[in-house]
Structure 1
Amino acid sequence: EFLSDPRVVELPRWVWLPVLHGIVLRLRPRYAARAYARIWGEEGSPLLTHSEHQAARLTERLAGEGVKVVLGMRYGQPSIRSALEALRAAGVGRLLVLPLFPQYSAVTTASVFDAVARTLRSWRRLPEVRMPMGYHDDPGYISAVAHAIRMAFEAYGVPDRLLFSFHGLPRDAVERGDPYGDQCQATARLVADSMGLEPDRWQVAFQSRVGPRAWLAPYTLETLTAWARAGVRSVQVVCPGFAADCLETLEEIDIRYREAFLEAGGEDFHYIPALNDSPQHIEVLWQLVARHGRGWLDAAPGESTA
């Protein structure tokens, strides 16, 4: 489903689908299964577990507001369609869709919009709909990320370097107007400025590159190994673009990239967990709901939802 999304792979269908079904889907599942096996928890998928906890904590935070919180995953289950159908069955008349992608990209946020629209176009009676397009510079979000970094500094000491690692994006997507790269840089700069970090102590890099095309650079893996070879002994990595820990943070960063940094000569590596269902993150989400649901939260119970 993910690799079939035209927002994700922007190639003509007649070019991409034979490659997807003839090559990629024959090889990638074996690799993905091994990677997931390294991070699978007692409750199953970390991403799903953290997302369910977020929804539960947000429900608690919104108690008494007449808001029904339902989780929908862009890929996998519970799906966006199933979430929307549950809301329709509950008689919801106002719909606030909150994509948990702080930095906007057509690959992520716009794909959520597409999925919502595909479901709603079959409904006879539509709800009022609102959907924020991101929150990369939201003061509460910036404060929450900075708090997580400060907690890591207190626990492990201030590292030689702090790396802000964001999911990568093909360079040509940015050249066509996607603001994602600029928003990633802005998030990191705002966090660093709020903490008073010196410019030579932190950097932005991009991970999870797939295929031979040029992606946003510099790349996280190359940055970490270059630092180690240059004498940087301690690093901490934070991934502000991920609202919940998942394969890309727990396996790619905290296992594979950790090993690469240490093998290249580094001595101390710490991954700073995603905001997940921390009190600071739930407060950020509550503030987003309050802001974008303004005028709805005092509506009759059952008519408003996030």
Structure 2
Amino acid sequence: MIVGMAPLQADDASGGQAKGPAAPEDYAMAAEEVAPGVYAVMTPARDLPSRENLGWNANMAFVVTDDGVLVFDTGSSETMGVALREAIREVTDQPVRWIVNSHSHGDHWLGNHAFIDDEPEIMAGSAAAERMQAEADGWIENFNEMTEGATGKTTPAFPDRMVDEREVLDLAGTEVVVMPSGGAHSPGDLMAWLPEQRVLLAGDVVYSDRAPSVWDGDVAQWIDLLDELIALEPKVVVPGHGRLEGAETLTRLQRYLTILWDGIAEGVERGLADFETVPLVREHMGDLIEAYPGFEEKIERSVATTYPDVEAATF
């Protein structure tokens, strides 16, 4: 079921794209029920925040319980959070009582303040929360530059509950397992697992049809973590970026990261510098390049930032 669909646009009277802040109604917020009580809000964008996508490049989700709503990620701006709030209101009048911020990158949490009147408990890993406090202004400024002002003004609302170990939440009979990733994609990553519905809200620990950003994470830990996630046998995976998929998205991403690691390891063993290893990794990726749009934009940085970890592990 999809509700709350609206066109993604902010056009001026001449037919061109208007400058200045976007309004909540400019966002295509579609609440898609992926399991009973569990909704995904998927962006059509597969790129970085831009004027074209009005800064909405990351997916969000929410869970409706008998005691309120849990929201998983809130978007790149307060206005985007308002749009999400309105999409939720199309489904339920229940208040938003819990927010899980998957990690500290601004496209996943700057919408928090839109829900402040509901007085939600906002959860994040402690390492992520520290970065949010330190980097909020920078994220807001950067997104406004990238979107030519579309993301507009945002008042940050920071996490007030730190989650650094796996926690099982009983939300009026709906079980939600909040799971740290061990810093796989970035320090303080969190995921949410709904065992009854077999839905994984993954944040940026999973990219489906978009090349993953690995510069802030631990690729070796990420590969190991994916073994744990595959063992859950999820029916639906809501990625931080990309389309909805099943468990196959996990095995494909693990293959991608393993090839990245092993290709760099081969380069290290051959005495190649990081930039000299890029063609080697590209060759080994083969058909996976087509599965992950944006590969060419990210591969040089992915190799450069992963190379020191591979080198340390090798020697």
The normalised TM-score by structure 2 is 0.29
Q: Name the one with the larger helix percent.
A: 1
Q: Name the one with the larger strand percent.
A: 2
Higher relative contact order (CA 8 A, sep 6+): 1
Structure with max Cα Rg:
1
The normalised TM-score by structure 1 is 0.29
